[in-house]
């Protein structure tokens, strides 16, 4: 019977991305998103690091579903803003997940920053948590990470991806991550790196 694994997100793009990576690795898992569980509560991201938030979400979902669970926390860290928006990336403009507002605010904050000081990186922590054991003992957890460095444009370019992709150009590329197709982005992205690093961890924990 195929092992079911929950990815603690309602973002269909993230679910599709991890499904592609698991399939490419030959891992026979049934990956479902948080939407597969109607009563699954949202988990408050109260951690002060990407790793802490990923672990919070993975553990909570594993406990609620009694299934192995994966969660990630990722964001854009801008050199000129001392690493912000960082863990606040998804709600930088105040409302969680408002990509256009977040982009508008960040571009306004960087309006006077010259090209040579527009360095930034995307960072991702991905956690896997096994469901609790007998007598409420905590299940095993692991965390892996990924990072891609680049620079930020002065205006949007490209219609793919999500979040800050339209202004982020990875070093060594002439295109934003919003101008890349899914396979190209997976190959270099922070989340792609972290999700690929999860493959051997899932094999070990799930015996696959």
Catalytic residues: 73
Contact 141, 129 (CB under 8 A): yes
Q: What angle do CA 99, 103, 107 make, to 5 degrees?
A: 175
| Cα gap 180→165, rounded to integer Å | 10
In the block, tokens 């929950």 appear at: 6
Tokens standing for residue 41: 């509560």
Question: In sequence order, what E strands does the chain have?
Answer: 3-7, 29-33, 69-78, 119-129, 141-152, 168-170
Rounding to the nearest 10 degrees, give the CA dihedral for residues 17, 190, 165, 36.
30
Q: Which of 21, 14, 66, 8 is nearest to 193 (CA)?
A: 21
CA 46 to chain centre: 16
């Amino acid at each position: 019977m195929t092992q079911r694994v929950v990815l603690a997100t309602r973002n269909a793009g993230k679910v599709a991305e991890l499904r592609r990576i698991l399939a490419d690795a030959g891992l026979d898992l049934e990956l479902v998103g948080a939407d597969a569980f109607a009563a699954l509560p949202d988990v408050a991201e109260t951690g002060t690091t990407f790793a802490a938030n990923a672990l919070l979400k993975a553990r909570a979902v594993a406990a609620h579903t009694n299934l192995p669970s994966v969660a990630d926390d990722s964001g854009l860290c801008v050199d000129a803003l001392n690493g912000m928006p960082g863990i606040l990336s998804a709600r930088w403009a105040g409302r969680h997940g408002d990509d256009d507002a977040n982009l508008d605010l960040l571009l306004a904050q960087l309006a006077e920053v010259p090209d040579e000081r527009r360095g930034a990186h995307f960072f991702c922590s991905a956690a896997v948590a096994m469901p609790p054991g007998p007598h409420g003992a905590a299940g095993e957890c692991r965390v892996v990470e990924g990072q891609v460095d680049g620079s930020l444009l002065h205006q949007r370019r490209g219609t793919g991806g999500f979040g800050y992709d339209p202004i982020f150009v990875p070093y060594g590329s002439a295109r934003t991550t919003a101008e890349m197709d899914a396979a190209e982005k997976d190959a270099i992205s922070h989340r792609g790196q972290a999700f690929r690093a999860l493959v051997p961890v899932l094999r070990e924990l799930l015996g696959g």
